[in-house]
Every structure is written in C-alpha cells, then in structure tokens.
Structure 1
Amino acid sequence: MIGIIMIVYQFVLLVLDFVHFVFRATLLTLQAAWRLVFPPPEKSVVGEIVLITGAGHGIGRELSLQLARLGAKIVCLDINEANNKKTVADICREGGAAFGYKCDVTNKDEVRAVSNEIRENVGEITILVNNAGIMPCKPFIKHTSEDIESIFRVNVFAHFWMLKEWLPTFIAIGRGHIVAMSSIAGLMATSNLVPYCASKYAVKGLMDGLQEEMRYGGRNPNIKFTCVHPFIVDTGLAKKPRIRFPSLTPVLTPETAAEAIISAVQHEQEEVVLPYQAALVHHAVRLLPREVMKVFLDFMDTGVDEHDS
C-alpha cells in the first residue's frame, strides 16, 4: 500500500513540475518578446572598475576609451607596454581615470601578481573583459605545434587565469560582469582558421558552462555574462578578408564594435553577434540542413585568405 502511495505521490510531483515548467517557459517567452519591443533601460557603468586585457590595440583600446568616457575607471592590461601606456595617457588626457599594467595573460603566475597589484592600487574590479587574442591565418597543416599552443594560451587559457583571479571576488561581493571575446568563427567555422575556430568555440563553451554554473540553484544571479561573436573587425589580425557581399556582412571598425559591445553589456545581453547582419546570417544558416548550409556558405564565399604571420 505504501509503495502505491509513493508511486502516486511521485507522479503528482512530476505533473506539478511539468505544469510549473510550462508556466515559466510561457512567461519567459512573453517576457523575451516584450524586451525585443521595449528593451530594458541601460545600466550605468559610472564608478565601475573595468579590467580589459589587450587594451593597447584594436577593440580593447576602443573599449577602454569609450567606457572611460561613460564614467568607468579603467584598468588596462597588455603585453605591449608602449601601446598600453598610450591608451592610459589618452584616457587621462580626456579627463578619465585609467591605470596601466604590463601583463602576459598567458602566464598564470604573472596574472596573479598583477591582479594583487591592482587590488592594492586600484581596488576590486567589477567588470572583467577578456579581450586579448591572436589569429594566425593559414591552413591547418602549416601551423606548427608551437603556433597551436600559442593560440590556445592566448585565446583560451588566459580567460581561465583571469577568471580564477577575479570570479571569487565577484562571488564575494555578490555582483560582477564578465565579458569574453569569442568570434563569429566560434559559431561558424571557416578555412585557414582551424586552431583559431577551435579556440573561439572553446571560449563559447567556457562562457556557457560558467553561466549555467553560476545560475544553477539561484547561486549568483547578479553575476552577468556577455559572450561576443564579432565578424571581421579591422584590427589588423585579418590581413586578407574575403567578403563577397560587403554590404551584407561589412568589416567593422574597432570603434563600432566597441560601441555595440558596451551596449550589450549595458543591456546585460548574454550573447551578441556583430554586426546584426552577421547575426541574421548565422541564425538563418543554423536552420538549414548541414549539406544545404555548406552550399550556402560556398555562395556567400566569406572568410580569410592565408597570409604570413
């Protein structure tokens, strides 16, 4: 008798859980549709302490400048000390607050030492932007073992070392925002970028997994995540871009890319593809059968050609 009661009890719980799931799914779908029409107000970054890796060049430099103009305090990290100093000087010249540190983000001991300096001299950061990256463009068989290891050290492992230092801080203070630069190549692979594609798929996996871990059981609801997937950005990494329809998928300037990333952070978007045309192409391709997708990609004829590093 007790066994029958337990079976009925478990069945009733299952039904109630399913009803609760349908109710929440419906509510959240309606909420998402509402936010498409009426986006939430942008959150302010005034007073936030933002650490940006690769701040001496390209998107990292533009993010540093633009966030400083919005009232954030910027901590610039770069292995190129001269470029980093220029970014810091330009921010200070405009009346912003910035601090520069030379750091090889692939070296976990150096990351730890610099992070301790930042805590002592600036304070605990509240926004982490893992931006530093490299992109050798050549066929897979031409990549040396050292090339592949270098790509993963910069594009993947550096994210881990920065997160190991600063995620505990976010958990302790109960809030924070983590921004990671993946790539459109982390969603749709292309030739001449095989190790790079793999590294950017890894970044997406890292962010997805970390976000779920922080979310599960309502652990850390105020730690936000934004994974960014830019199309080709004119930073000098892709020296020979190949774009059949440049009006459909244009090359972005670092300034435009930074503006879009900051907007995504202020609206707490979990994932963003830049520009929006590339997002539309990506979503359309995902709906196609794999063989049709290959034909479509051939038609688009977009990617990067080989060039000497």
Structure 2
Amino acid sequence: MEQIKQLFEQNHEVLLSYVLQLVAAVVIFYIGRLVAKAVSRFLEKALLGRSVDKAVVSFIASIVYAMILIATVLMALSQVGVQTTSFIAILGAAGLAVGLALQGSLANFASGILIILFRPFKSGDFIEAGGVTGTVDKIEIFQTIMKTPDNKLVIVPNAQITGGAITNYSAEPIRRVDLVIGISYDSDLRKAKQILQQIISEDARVLPEPASVISVAALADSAVNINVRPWVNSADYWGVYWDTLEKVKLTFDEQGISIPFPQMDVHIKKDKQE
C-alpha cells in the first residue's frame, strides 16, 4: 500500500495531466457534436429559405454533419496524445477493409450522389422505384425515405432505386387517364360512345387540349372494348379515374347499355340408349 502511495506521489503530475487531457478530449467531442448539429440545422434552414429542394437539403446536411463529426473525433484523439497522422493512415487502411466488407453501403452512398446530381425526382414527387410506390420525403446519404398512399414510411436503399427503372408520376404537369370500357355485342355502340363522350365533356377536370380519345379498341371474346383516354392535370388523375368509372356504370345502367362479364356456357349431352 505504501508503495502505491509513493508511486502516486511521484507521478501525480503526469496522472493529472492525462486526466486533464482526457477531460479536454471529452469536452471537445461533446462541443464538436453540438456544433455539427447546429451547423447542420442552420445549413438546412438556410437552404430551405432559398427554395432548395428538401431532398437535396437533407442530403447535404447529412454529409456536413458527418464531416464535422469526423473532424471532431480526430481533434479529440489528438488531445489525448494519439498521433493523428498515423491514425489517419491506419484509418485509411481500415476504411479500405471496411469498404470491401460494406460494398452495399458504399453503393448506396454513390447512388445517393447520382440521385442528387441527375435529379430523377425531388421531394414531394410521387414515384415508383425500388419496388415501392409513394411520395418522396427525403434523400439521405444511404437511403431515400418515402411515404406510401396509405401513410406508411418506407426506407429504400439508394442503390435499390438507381438499380432499376424509376417512374416519376409527378414529373409532367398533365397525364392521360387510360380506361377500357367493355359493352356487350347486343348494345348500341354509337349510343355508348356518345354517352362516354358526354361524361368526359361534363367533367371540368378534363383538359380540352390534348383532345380526349374515345375509340373501339378490340372486338374481344365477350365484349366490344372501347378506349376512353382523357387528359387531366397530374393532381386530378385518380379523382377522374375513379369518378369516370362510377359515372359510366350508373349511366350505362340508366341507358340500357350492358357491361358483360366473363361467363361460360356448359352444354351437357346425354347418350340415347336403345
């Protein structure tokens, strides 16, 4: 016990110095983390104030936060006596090994860069990508956050999005509603087309240009199929789609136009026994 006390008295200055360095490193890391959050939030507000796309703002803020945090960690390690130059070399070698092990994450990061550069979609767009259909909320370093029409939050890896086809339903201001209406062969075709034209023309959401198309598409097995293709603003697409189907059914019922359904006639033959 006496030896430990004597050892402490001889080296208390060195121990105190190490303790102070450790405390300083912890303080540097804590303050640096707060600064990283503050700068990230300030940058986010500033860019949003300049009407920069929300998805791009989120991506840039995430990168800035990560860079400041890495710099803070290096400063804290330097404070406790770690040679940062050697540490950076070791970190680079370790980063290479980790990079090889985490190729998927690096692919997601690279895909995030591509999304930001080429802008196939922006925050608020309704898209179909990576097997998910929904509204883009944010684009982050490794993933894109989307909200589905039934208000589910889906996190999609960026590589999964850029690795396949991207359908952006909000990219163009107008869209064409494609409907196929089938009527029976016994129904009056001219009358059916007039009814469909009237339904389309009475809907104020249907655009006068480009002109709507109503034409016979096919003489199918059990029905005469008619293409109904009005043009609408993208925001009105589903409203016009659902309302038109309902109006067609109700009006056809009132006007005696029948809509056939698949059916099969079975004929049973009996052998006559003499």
Structure-2-length-normalised TM-score:
0.22
Work out which structure has the larger RCO, using CA pairs closer than 8 Å and 6 or more positions apart in sequence: 1
User: Whose Rg is larger?
Assistant: 2
Structure-1-length-normalised TM-score:
0.20
